[in-house]
Amino acid sequence: MFLYWGKRLEPLVAEYYSMHTQYKVRRVNAVLQHPDPDKHFMLANLDYSVVGNADVQILECKTAGEHGAKLWRDGIPLYVLCQVQHQLAVTGKKAAHVCVLICGHETRIFKVTRSESVIQHIVNAERYFWDCVEKDIPPDADASESAAKALQLLYPAHVPLSVEDLSHDPHANQLFDQLIKMKADLQDQQEHFDQLKHQIQMLMKDNERAVFSRGSVVWKKAKDTISLNTKTLIEHQPELIQQYPLHKQGSRRFNIFTDAES
């Protein structure tokens, strides 16, 4: 839904920009490619071009809701800066304007000037990415949610009784040692956190909120709820599972075992 409204509001943002700046804009209905054959992998989709202006040549329109508004509090978010610098790299232009509609009632215009040092970093990163695509090398796994989803999609099920022997792989063993240490550190931190939390709860007693010199905590009871005891229901009426089945695909679980626990 957010993408839908972003697309619908884009022409209105461009219209406001043109009215506010007196700059004429033109919709760009094409996928642009870097003119340098060595950078053929760099493509860009522009929202609008600014016509006949020596100072600014590109317009990027954005919309932000109540959750995204905080990203614009101190200026242009980093991901938008990278996007616009990429556009400047592909087109060879000098500068762009970013016009953002925040929460449907506040509009801001920012100027992004071409930065050769930033563009060089972007080109290097994109070249590395494209090289991995051509060689069919998957990107390194990181801590992002998208990485977790990708791994579940790539390897949704295990081969029963199969073993990958990494005991002689120095890098793999280093990762495993770090994982064990991190698990122990997290457990210690969680225990310390719980201890501090419980001590504060003892001080709060039955008060809903406690205030401190640097903030506050709230400790309140959630509303009582009534839910369906499906286990008992199926025991009494087992035919219901055939009438109203709900299939849930299982996911792989990651469990850690050390030699001491074996």
DSSP codes, 30-73: SEEE-SSGGGTT-EEE-SEEETT-SS--EEEEEEE-TTTGGGGT
Segment (H or E) for 123: helix 116-134
Q: Coil, strand, or helix at residue 181?
A: helix
pTM (global) more than 0.85: no
The answer to whether the beta carbons of residues 17 and 109 sit under 8 Å apart is: yes
The mean of the pLDDT values for the chain is: 94
Q: Coil, strand, or helix at residue 84?
A: helix
pLDDT digits (tens, 9 = 90+) for 209-255: 999 999 999 999 999 999 999 999 999 999 999 999 988 888 899 99
In the prediction, which pLDDT does 1 show?
60
Q: Tell me the C-alpha to C-alpha distance, in Å, between residue 18 and each of 30, 48, 96, 107.
A: 21, 11, 14, 13
pLDDT digits (tens, 9 = 90+) for 35-71: 999 999 999 999 999 998 999 999 999 999 988 999 9
Question: Of all residues in the chain, what percent carry a pLDDT higher than 70?
Answer: 98
DSSP state of 103: T
pLDDT digits (tens, 9 = 90+) for 156-185: 999 999 999 999 999 999 999 999 999 999
Token pair listed for 257: 């075992």
Q: Which whole number is the average pLDDT over 97-123?
A: 96
In the prediction, which pLDDT does 5 show?
76
The answer to whether the beta carbons of residues 241 and 234 sit under 8 Å apart is: yes
The answer to whether the beta carbons of residues 98 and 110 sit under 8 Å apart is: yes
In the prediction, which pLDDT does 2 show?
63
In the prediction, which pLDDT does 99 show?
97
d(CA 92, CA 88): 5
| Beta carbons within 10 angstroms of residue 255's beta carbon | 4
CA atoms within 13 Å, Cβ hemisphere of 114 = 15
Whether 111 has a pLDDT exceeding 80, the answer reads yes
Token pair listed for 30: 């094409």
d(CA 255, CA 262): 13
Under the banding of pLDDT at 50, 70 and 90, the label for residue 139 is: confident
Q: Coil, strand, or helix at residue 95?
A: strand
Whether 4 has a pLDDT exceeding 90, the answer reads no
